[in-house]
A and B are shown apart, each in its own frame.
Chain A
């Protein structure tokens, strides 16, 4: 418990991740699933950013170009990784949303169970 209180930032990120994951599992609405995926992404970015943070250090933008003191700057590698994650999550969101638009225009519903039921029925009628 003390460890969780010490790492409250990472704990919050993990809880956010799990909220997104359970949204992904429990909701039958496609749009809510996409929102859950985005919440998971956000939790991951918070985790990465807090892992790179060092107390008392500033952003990795050099203020003194002559004397570079290692202790003045946070770890820049997680910051660079978060950028990759953001770009990929934007792309995935765009693709899933456009797939959802196509699904809705075919089945007129966003509920996954209803889509399955209609698809199974049309399959039976065709064969």
Chain B
């Protein structure tokens, strides 16, 4: 590929002319802000001209001042109360007394009961697995809210979403993305699969993979990322992952809650195929998170998949 030297030097010198083409693109199909401001000023003048309005004008200023005073008092009181609470806390780093039987149980018998070397993963995906299922649903519900609010239907005008600066044909970004995208994906999958052995897990690994898909979509256009995640794939993956999580965890609680033996054995600690259900649950959570992050990006960028 021919390297555009002129473009590269302009990029190196951070030439502001690089963005000169944006002005004609950024024409807004809405009424300009100045006109709305003008109308508002007209309205305020009309209100102030009337005798009844004068009182409301004064009270408006009065309420604004009252709000400021109360806000300052609120912030000051809150800061003082919180700082005095902090000053009464035990010394930083010496909270050994705070370790109660719950923490002791988690650390001492967490490995035996969950099979996870990473105790935090054992807590969030075994002892408190329903909490994590709820978290996944919170994320999924947030994505649904974003979809309801920002989605553009077929007959609606989507032209204003095309106005933003498009980086899909930028050589520098394409070349660097070519090197970094595989590394990002491999790192995300590593973090996802080693959640029960090392720091990481479904949420962080899924976020890294989602960021990789977003980078792919910025550098190579939406057709490249659309080949990876289309709307249909997105729906299927989200539903299957959440349904698998729900079924697997209710099964686990059904067989193992009252100290009954779980059919899935924890396995040898430290191996990749250990920890019982933690690894598949991590994969399910990671799928939901990466799909959600990419879906949110698409909604904010374009309004449709």
Contacts and interface: CB of A to CB of B under 8 A. Distances in A.
| Main secondary structure on A side of the interface with B | helix
B172 interface: no
- Interface size class for chain B? 35 or more
- Interface size class for chain A? 35 or more
Given A11-B83, A14-B86, A109-B33, A25 B111 contact: no
Interface stretch (B140-148, B178-186, B219-227, B235-243): B140-148
Contact of A11 (B86, B106, B128): B86
Contact of B83 (A4, A70, A76): A4
A121 B74 CA distance: 31
B135 interface: yes
Contact of A91 (B128, B139, B270): B139
Nearest to A8: B92
A21 B141 CA distance: 26
A32 B33 CA distance: 19
A11 B100 CA distance: 24
Contacts of A22: 71, 75
Given A3-B88, A59-B199, A68-B107, A53 B139 contact: no
Contacts of A52: 95
A79 to B, nearest CB: 5
Contact of B135 (A8, A10, A59, A87): A87
A42 B300 CA distance: 24
Contacts of B89: 3, 7, 10, 51
Contacts of B43: 117, 121
Contacts of B36: 107-109, 114, 118
- Top-5 shortest CB links A-B: A3-B87, A91-B142, A55-B93, A60-B119, A25-B71
